Structure 1
Amino acid sequence: MTTTEKNMTTYASLLAPMAAAAHEVGALLVNSPQPAAAPPADTMDELATAYLAVEGPATAVMRRHLDALLPGVPWAEELHGEHSLGSGADAGLPAAGDAWMVDVIDGAVQYMQGLPQFCVSLALVRDGEPVAAALHAPLLGETYLAAAGHGATRNGEPIAPSSRSRLEAALVATSAPPFIAEQPTAAASAGRSLAAVLPAVSAVRNLGPTSWQIADTAAGRLDAFWEYGRDDANLLPGALVAREAGAVVTDLEGRPWQAGAAGFLAAPHGLHASLLELLKP
């Protein structure tokens, strides 16, 4: 067995404990007092306080699991400085070595409003590339898993992207990075892209967590997903699920997507080129 094959086997062995961690965090979120039941936060400080009251315990549970699984592997958000890739939305991802990319409440805005579209998302990133990923939507009772070289599954069943080849019947989705005002070029491009894509497809939706929408694209529930801006924490787990399912995952210039890229597109082979033509600057 080659070193690469050994690594791939190791990646696959991480999936069950990663799923267990995501499930425990998901149960905690569902059973926590819902922020939407309290008087609504009226300022960003109030919103942050309400969020941290839930995010703190959820993060503690996740840390317990991940520290036991791979002792000493840091979370990407803890890593800064000259050896990190990018800044802003992609700050902290190491160019070499291992790191966890974790979002214990992907879709936090929806969660805080009492909406069901949220999930727990995590990925192990090695040398800048996602190699194992778990996404769990507790209210759906669904879990996506993927490991480099081992394919992707939903609730244990292999998934594959849509077989559509014509945009006119396609259901596609898009989203935006958190705090999009910090990326004004991305915000402007996102608006332009909607004007280009809306007339060409059956419908465009934003169905909540970025990572989950990418995974639903990998499973053929959505026909494609695109986003402008740097958004590594949300894109990395879904990117691995999509790649392993057989979708084409690129930046918006058509190059293989990498962390720190300024745009993202996941689509089946039959739709990717047509969408890319609409989305290119």
Structure 2
Amino acid sequence: MLKSVIDLVETLATGVRAPEHPPASFAELAAAFGAIDDPLAAGLRAALTELRPGAAWAEEFDELPGGEVWVVDALDGAVQLLQGLPQYCLTVTLVRDGEPELAVLHSPRLGETYAAKRGEGARRNGKPVAPSRKTSLAAVVAATSQPPFVAKQPGVAEAAGRSLTAVLEEVAAVRNLGPTSWQVADVAAGRLDLFWQFGRDATNLAGAALVAREAGAVVTTADGAPWTPSAGSFLAAAPGLHAPAAKILRQAE
């Protein structure tokens, strides 16, 4: 089934196009987003329902029902796409009883696809990936982001600011390279050494967390506790970097 999901995501992504000009107001942004996202999400829903007729559907959630659920973000990084930037991707995750079973992330502009199935490892364009071999924070290129509409989650923006200040003092560089899910997948492949975020962001993180775990990265909350889709923070890091990164984030939180 994983190959079928990869094929349909890559096929549907070929129709994604940025608007000619970036939106000039929030109303224009919402309209431009809907014009791209709505048909794309509808196409994914139809194809995935045919592939797995008994699975439910979720585009945004904090808690999922039992059984199988397709968790889909047709445009992770939509803001970048609408600005004419290349950092966006499509994500599809099959969750069973709260645990991600398979995940596919596809970047149309990069022509790359991350895919993982529980217990079978993680791959990019069919080749196995593995996290960074670094053990020193001083050499780390870290990444971070914020959940959509972060102001709706009290205290999260403040925690993000404190953590950024703390991490900047310890690593070589901190970046925000676009879609949350893709940055986590890049930790899985060693392109980034670690990624952290405060706030609930289950739709963007569920599939990416599976990719990271299957590649061998350590995935927890920011303070090192087991991560679940309803958790209020997230950390994915190379094995040799997770403990010191979690220590910094605990102190900043």
TM-score, normalized by length of structure 2? 0.96
Residue 176 of structure 1: how far off its partner (Å): 0.4
Aligned twin of 1:46: 28
* CA offset digits 1:104-142 (Å, max 9, x no partner): 111000001000000111100111111100000011110
Please say if residues 173 and 213 of structure 1, whose CA atoms lie closer than 8 Å, have aligned partners that are also in contact.
yes
Q: How much has 1:181 moved relative to structure 2?
A: 0.5
Displacement of 1:43 in angstroms is 3.0
SS in 2 for 1:200: coil
Q: Larger Rg: 1 or 2?
A: 1
Q: Which residue of 2 aligns with 1:76?
A: 58
Q: Is the 8 A contact 1:76 1:92 kept in 2?
A: no
- Cα distance in 1 for partners of 2:231, 2:24 equals 34
Which residue number corresponds to residue 225 of structure 1? 195
1:65 aligned partner:
47
Q: Who is 1:100 aligned against?
A: 70
Decide which moves more: 97-106 or 44-53.
44-53
CA contact under 8 A between 2:23 and 2:82: conserved in structure 1?
Answer: no
Q: Which amino acid aligns with 1:221?
A: R
**2: CA distance, partners of 1:90 / 1:275:** 28
The separation in 2 between residues aligned to 1:251 and 1:260, in whole angstroms, is 10
Matches within 5 A, 1:11-160: 14-29=1-16, 32=17, 34-35=18-19, 37-38=20-21, 40-77=22-59, 90-91=61-62, 93-94=64-65, 96-160=66-130
Which amino acid letter does the alignment assign opposite residue 162 of structure 1? S
Q: Residue type of the partner of 1:91? A: D
Distance in 1 (CA, whole Å) between partners of 2:160 and 2:61 is 18
Q: Is the 8 A contact 1:90 1:230 kept in 2?
A: no
- Structure-1 residue corresponding to 2:135: 165
Using a 3 Å threshold, how does the CA distance of structure 1 residues 90 and 59 change in structure 2: closer, same or farther?
A: closer
**Alignment-mate amino acid for residue 242 of structure 2:** H
Paired residue for 2:221, among 242, 251, 264? 251
**For 1:20 and 1:120, how far apart are their aligned partners in 2?**
12
Task: Percent identity, please.
Answer: 53
Structure 1: gaps of 5 or more residues: 1-13, 78-88
CA drift of 1:92 comes to 5.3
1:143 is paired with a residue whose SS is strand
Further displaced range: 132-141 or 251-260: 251-260
Which contiguous aligned blocks of 4+ residues in structure 1 show a shift greater than 4 angstroms? none
Structure 1 SS opposite 2:187: helix
Structure 1 match to 2:146: 176
| Contact kept in structure 1, 2:184 and 2:209, CA below 8 Å | yes
Q: Distance in 2 between matches of 1:148 and 1:121?
A: 16
Query: Paired residues, what number?
Result: 251
Which one has a larger percent helix, Structure 1 or Structure 2? 1
SS of residue matched to 1:184: coil
C-alpha distance in 1, partners of 2:46/2:61?
24
Deviations 1:21-42 (A, max 9, x none): 210221111xx3x22x14x433
Structure 2: 5+ residue stretches without partners = none
1:215 deviates by 0.4
Deviations along 1:191-237, whole A, 9 cap, x unmatched?
00011000100000000010000000000000000000000000001
In structure 2, the residue matched to 1:193 is 163
- Quote the Cα distance in structure 2 between the aligned partners of 1:141 and 1:147: 20
Q: Secondary structure at the match of 2:195?
A: strand
**Post-superposition CA distance 1:63-107 (Å, at most 9, x none):** 121011101312124xxxxxxxxxxx633522x211111011110
CA RMSD of aligned residues (A): 1.2
Compute the displacement of 1:15 (Å).
1.0
TM-score (norm 1): 0.87
Conserved? CA contact 1:25–1:120, under 8 Å = no
Distance 2:62 2:123 in 1: 29
